[in-house]
Structure 1
């Protein structure tokens, strides 16, 4: 099994090219099930999750071709309308094949999902949205069995709370429904807009994406298209926090400034310098301790839950005490005990973490518990005295492309090793 070794103390200088967004790319791949023509996705990240989903789509009948910069997907005909447990259990996003299969085929059988251990994350809202579109849903033996023999029908769907996954799933299903669908209290993330842009390039009629009300005029069929995946705002934020914590001067090439304004606000308050440039976003930090700054996760455009662990790592060596409040997912402080193994002072109180910054962390063997937690340990290792060994980095490989090479290219002392 792979591990990552980091030896702290180096400033980061240079540039990092930001990859396509994982949280968008996976849903864009699923869109191949909506058409019998070829879909080409540019700026596709090469991740464990994209490779895993490729396997599931191949099982369903897609032909998947990959090169360094793009992915071509072509599902001329469906080979199966069943997504079995072994091909769904490892990754929650696999569940999103349900809506497109149902929209195109009139029925589907999909295993209930697995994925990161960061709370219950039920799929109730996904299923209720499909039922509102006219599907009949039954749960049996760990599978969702859905039918809409006469096709899906447009509907007004009001989400009781903001859900990125349910918004995306409803969009993917409703584009082939008869009539209009209106999604109220929809998620507003940039990845939602990106998915809508791709669907529209395929012939869909989606408007309002990026706002809390999305309208979808159903069409009879979609065609092939070419689409570039939006740059990954979570990867952007991760490297920005790495530079702010370790110190240095790094250009985050292709980063989109407006997608991370909540993070820029907190980082500026902590003492980092950020600037928008033609090529992307530049992050500068002196290498002196940051100033402790409070933070609370919120749905977009608030502070992203997927950047909470990385922000906590930065606050572990900040001057003063910060309060980090997690409002999106329960059980998402699993990285805190691992950071404490490195000397961090963190007091967990329900959905709050009270972080008292220390002048120095110490390298130690630690273990990744989920995708974002894993990279918080890398950030901590960049400033820790001595060597940090991070185990179970298969979590990290799910969402970060060439992380060691990107950091090493900026001067970090980091390598992948076999445990």
Structure 2
């Protein structure tokens, strides 16, 4: 969408938000649609830049993929083994489309995936696991060529680290492989369980998703279905942190609090009142916000790495010190420079962000350097006195649909300022012919 976000801080947030479907679930689900015969429909999908990129990848592979209102339908029969390179370099999740293409066509040509610059994000776990399933890998510069001359076959694979992306890739490969695959050391995130639920709905046989050992009986064919992706626990975390930073009372519905429980527990320790139900949470902050001491992210069910910058933004408004260490990515806190522009007393030491209290954050201009860091700058701006401008908002659009409107409906003074059309871009009106 583009354009800068203009925020006047100091206004408490009040109201109710129904949390949309999770970007981190929708992207692997769209890749999984390649395995299905017939038309797959995904219900109530948020219109995000990364979702549009996934649709572009499907279309580039020869599939029919289109928006129908707020749903996406996919006829996932590919006609080419090449993933569009420009789209693939746009987001890291493009690697997820490789296993389904291998299952369908026995070959895939792509480029090393892109994404936010938050640290090393190698795909070696994806490739080493696929190699155990009969895949040959060759790199030619930035090109990645994968072939499965004898097809995919089941294997007993142990991941050295519970990578979400690698777990998803190998789960997709195993669903269409010959025989049984046992995946040990698997990621346990709820998005993995959502992907497994979809595959099972389509006739797959996945057991153990949500635990560290997943067993998959490969199926020759998967069928079509309609599927509603799970709610976005990171969007819920963002709004919870925004309420903690700005003050007020916000009710978040449609998202199970257990999926982001560590963040809610920390906000409660910082002085927020947190009330939870089966699929809702109410965050209230009326008094002072306190520091959280030392906090760490980790693999699920620990505090999510994506939530780290968002929680850090809330910590800026606290009356005592906090520190937060991200154990997953070494450059998670690229937002620290933006925090400093608001007058925050922050220091990055390795993977740790140290935060000391200041009397009041002040409105400033800050640049989003990545997706979650960009959203964190918005959270900080909501707590700052005066007017702020957040630039490079394309990063934010990758993971938040209608972010400004969502916050405005809670009472935030926020608007998107679109860039003015340059003189060279303006169209000269055509003269009417007599």
Q: TM tier, shorter chain? A: over 0.9
Which ranges in structure 1 are unaligned for 5 or more consecutive residues? none
Match of 1:301 in 2: 301
In 1, the alpha carbon distance for the partners of 2:393 and 2:61 equals: 29
Matches within 5 A, 1:276-295: 276-277=276-277, 280-295=280-295
Match of 1:62 in 2: 63
The answer on 1:312 being equivalent to 2:274 is no
Question: What is the CA distance between 1:279 and its match in structure 2?
Answer: 5.4
Aligned 8 A contact 2:164 2:189 in 1: yes
In 1, the alpha carbon distance for the partners of 2:262 and 2:128 equals: 31
Question: What is the CA distance between 1:383 and its match in structure 2?
Answer: 1.1
Aligned 8 A contact 2:89 2:114 in 1: yes
Question: What is the CA distance between 1:268 and its match in structure 2?
Answer: 0.9
Instruction: Name the SS for the 1:414 alignment partner.
Output: strand
In 1, the alpha carbon distance for the partners of 2:181 and 2:384 equals: 52
In 2, the alpha carbon distance for the partners of 1:180 and 1:279 equals: 35
Matches within 5 A, 1:228-267: 228-267=228-267
Question: What is the CA distance between 1:5 and its match in structure 2?
Answer: 0.5
Shift of the 287–42 alpha-carbon distance from structure 1 to 2, 3 Å rule, reads farther
Match of 2:32 in 1: 31
Question: What is the CA distance between 1:27 and its match in structure 2?
Answer: 0.5
Aligned 8 A contact 2:377 2:390 in 1: yes
Instruction: Name the SS for the 2:299 alignment partner.
Output: coil
Aligned 8 A contact 1:407 1:414 in 2: yes
Aligned 8 A contact 2:31 2:97 in 1: yes
Matches within 5 A, 1:360-375: 360-375=360-375
In 1, the alpha carbon distance for the partners of 2:400 and 2:414 equals: 15
Question: What is the CA distance between 1:291 and its match in structure 2?
Answer: 3.5
In 1, the alpha carbon distance for the partners of 2:274 and 2:70 equals: 28
In 1, the alpha carbon distance for the partners of 2:349 and 2:136 equals: 42
Match of 1:395 in 2: 395
Question: What is the CA distance between 1:10 and its match in structure 2?
Answer: 0.8
The answer on 1:331 being equivalent to 2:331 is yes
Deviations along 1:249-285, one digit per CA (max 9) or x if unpaired, are: 1111102111011111111111111112355211111
Matches within 5 A, 1:200-211: 200-211=200-211
In 2, the alpha carbon distance for the partners of 1:78 and 1:185 equals: 31
Aligned 8 A contact 1:272 1:290 in 2: no
In 2, the alpha carbon distance for the partners of 1:291 and 1:333 equals: 18
In 1, the alpha carbon distance for the partners of 2:66 and 2:10 equals: 41
Deviations along 1:347-389, one digit per CA (max 9) or x if unpaired, are: 2211111100212100011000000000111111111011010
Match of 1:127 in 2: 127
Match of 1:117 in 2: 117
Which ranges in structure 2 are unaligned for 5 or more consecutive residues? 420-434
Deviations along 1:58-95, one digit per CA (max 9) or x if unpaired, are: 111221221343211112x3221111321201111012
Match of 2:150 in 1: 150
Match of 1:220 in 2: 220
Match of 1:416 in 2: 416
In 2, the alpha carbon distance for the partners of 1:257 and 1:208 equals: 22
Instruction: Name the SS for the 1:137 alignment partner.
Output: strand
In 1, the alpha carbon distance for the partners of 2:91 and 2:339 equals: 26
Instruction: Tell which deviates more after alignment, 351-360 or 23-32.
Output: 351-360
TM-score by length of 2: 0.94
Aligned 8 A contact 1:297 1:326 in 2: yes
Aligned 8 A contact 1:35 1:223 in 2: yes
Shift of the 215–279 alpha-carbon distance from structure 1 to 2, 3 Å rule, reads closer
The answer on 1:2 being equivalent to 2:3 is yes
Match of 1:386 in 2: 386
Aligned 8 A contact 1:256 1:280 in 2: yes
Match of 1:271 in 2: 271
Q: Considering only aligned residues, what root-mean-square deviation do their CA atoms show, in Å?
A: 1.2
Deviations along 1:140-164, one digit per CA (max 9) or x if unpaired, are: 1312211112211100110011100
TM-score by length of 1: 0.98
In 2, the alpha carbon distance for the partners of 1:239 and 1:337 equals: 22
Question: What is the CA distance between 1:105 and its match in structure 2?
Answer: 1.2
Q: Which runs of 4+ in 1 moved over 4 A?
A: none
Question: What is the CA distance between 1:230 and its match in structure 2?
Answer: 0.2
Aligned 8 A contact 1:59 1:79 in 2: no
In 1, the alpha carbon distance for the partners of 2:238 and 2:69 equals: 23
In 2, the alpha carbon distance for the partners of 1:312 and 1:101 equals: 39
In 2, the alpha carbon distance for the partners of 1:293 and 1:12 equals: 25
Aligned 8 A contact 1:244 1:287 in 2: no
In 2, the alpha carbon distance for the partners of 1:156 and 1:87 equals: 32
In 2, the alpha carbon distance for the partners of 1:351 and 1:55 equals: 35
